[in-house]
Amino acid sequence: MAPKRRRGSVVSRVPVVRGWSRPRGGAANVTAPRPLGASPHRRFKDPSLQRSFALFRAFLHEQDDPEGCYSLLARDSVDQVEAYDGPVAGRTVVDVGGGSGYFTEEFRRRGAQAYLFEPDMGELGERPPDGAVVADGYLLPLRDGAADVTFSSNVLEHVADPQTFLSELARVTRPGGLVYVSFTNWLSPWGGHEWAPWHYLGAERARARYRRRTGRAAKHTLGENLFAVHIGATLRQVRARDDVEIVSARSRYWPFLAEGVVKAPGLREFATWNLLLILRRCPP
């Protein structure tokens, strides 16, 4: 779940139409680019034990320090984009299902023209990044090929039709551009989200247990806003596509064998934890 933010301002409600629609206040309000290499945060080698420990520690503190947790994850994710595609400075980046905007803000800090598209006002929070657009990832109000980089972190398992969602990401990415997609697969120890790892005993039982233990209804319901996405099936479907090619299929967080673990049928469904797909948009 993406935490609520404490800063930012304008939210645009844009009509869902084809054709470039620049988010209100978007580029004009972008944080001034910082020279590359001047980022104050410590960069971890990816993959490495140090990096995985740092991310794991941050996840453990997600509830009491969401800012620290999501800022680190955002920096790490943008590092990953840059590792595959070079500096994002000056590029157009589209963050689809970006929640309250940590990733968009990090892309902007590094000089990208980054735009947040998020369908849920509740996820955007009270103070999303300037120019955030309320829009569904199935039908983005963008012309074909508008983005150099299309970014979607942990959204695929929340949409009922992942392949149609991927088609839309590919459509708005320019030929040769990069698509970054990650998701927590169903059989991952974290696949049940707030009711994990009890999802291994069945979603309904896990939800009921969550309610008993916390006194609150769980945020996610299988088949409504959380879907059982599997690594093997997803890889087969993506390989069969002609609009993207796979640059890398790897575990997003693993400290070693990040690509190796994804090559082991069966094991990968449990051990990958979170699949990161780095895709390149093919020419039409």
Ligand X SMILES: C[S@@+](CC[C@H](N)C(=O)[O-])C[C@H]1O[C@@H](n2cnc3c(N)ncnc32)[C@H](O)[C@@H]1O
Closest CB 48 distance from ligand X, rounded Å: 21
**C-beta of residue 132 within 8 angstroms of C-beta of residue 105:** no
Compare residues 26 and 128 and give the one whose CB is closer to ligand X: 128
Reading the block at residue 272, the tokens are 């990958």
Closest CB 102 distance from ligand X, rounded Å: 7
Exactly one of 66, 125, 137, 177 binds ligand X (CB under 6 A); that residue is 137
Compare residues 181 and 244 and give the one whose CB is closer to ligand X: 181
Long-range contacts at 244-248 (CB < 8 A, ≥ 24 apart): 244/166, 244/170, 244/179, 244/279, 244/280, 244/281, 244/282, 245/279, 245/280, 245/282, 246/277, 246/278, 246/279, 247/84, 247/178, 247/278, 247/279, 247/280, 248/84, 248/276, 248/277, 248/278
By CB under 6 A, tell whether 244 contacts ligand X.
Answer: no
Residue ranges in 79-108 that form contacts with ligand X under rule CB under 6 A = 96-99
Residue ranges in 140-159 that form contacts with ligand X under rule CB under 6 A = 153-155, 158-159
Q: At CA 123, angle to CA 120 and CA 125, rounded to 5?
A: 115
Compare residues 153 and 251 and give the one whose CB is closer to ligand X: 153
Exactly one of 82, 136, 144, 194 binds ligand X (CB under 6 A); that residue is 136
Site size for ligand X (CB under 6 A): 18
**C-beta of residue 168 within 8 angstroms of C-beta of residue 162:** no
- End-to-end Cα spacing for the chain: 35
By CB under 6 A, tell whether 62 contacts ligand X.
Answer: no
238: Cβ contacts below 8 Å, ≥ 6 apart = 166, 244, 246, 249, 277, 279
By CB under 6 A, tell whether 2 contacts ligand X.
Answer: yes
Reading the block at residue 72, the tokens are 């680190």
Compare residues 136 and 257 and give the one whose CB is closer to ligand X: 136
Exactly one of 84, 138, 190, 200 binds ligand X (CB under 6 A); that residue is 138
Q: Which letter, b or e, does each residue of 164-176 get, where b requires 16 or more Cβ atoms within 10 Å of its Cβ?
A: ebbebbbbbbbee
By CB under 6 A, tell whether 269 contacts ligand X.
Answer: no
By CB under 6 A, tell whether 252 contacts ligand X.
Answer: no
Compare residues 169 and 187 and give the one whose CB is closer to ligand X: 169
Compare residues 76 and 118 and give the one whose CB is closer to ligand X: 118
By CB under 6 A, tell whether 194 contacts ligand X.
Answer: no
Residue ranges in 152-191 that form contacts with ligand X under rule CB under 6 A = 153-155, 158-159
Residues that bind ligand X (CB under 6 A): 1-2, 96-99, 118-120, 123, 136-138, 153-155, 158-159
